Amino acid sequence: MPTLNHYLVLSAVLFSIGTAGVFLRRNLITLLLSIEIMLNAVNLTFVAVGRYLGSVDGQIIVFFVMTVAAAEAAVGLAIVIALFRHRETLNPDAFTSLRW
């Protein structure tokens, strides 16, 4: 049987991969995908700890995190489309001014 620590370590590794993605990539879509990886790492922690404590609340929180992730993806991608329309690029380094 995998113990709680197995899940927590896996979640830590995934969260760090997501962080590395946010630092390393120069593509707004990949940045959003990295954020999704981080959210899912946290979700795994919630479910594992909820299972460990014998509480349903872990799964409930994951449900809310998923809802927020859906809203974030919709708004984030809309912003990406609006930015791409202005600059024809997805490189975040190209967007340095607040208005143009």
- Which residues inside 71-100 make contact with another protein, applying CB under 8 A? 71-75, 77-82, 84, 89-91, 93, 96
**Short-list 1, 24, 2, 4, CA closest to 12:** 4
Q: Is 66 in the site for another protein (CB under 8 A)?
A: yes
What the block records as the tokens of 43 is: 């979700």
**Short-list 1, 51, 40, CA closest to 18:** 40
Residue (67 or 100) nearer to another protein, CB: 67
Q: Is 65 in the site for another protein (CB under 8 A)?
A: no
**Short-list 26, 24, 22, CA closest to 89:** 26
Among 35, 42, 48, 87, binds another protein (CB under 8 A): 48
Q: What is the DSSP letter of 30?
A: H
DSSP 3-state of 2: coil
How far apart are CB 63 and another protein at their closest, in Å?
7
How far apart are CB 23 and another protein at their closest, in Å?
3
Contact set for another protein, span 6-35 (CB under 8 A): 6-10, 12-27, 29-30, 32-34
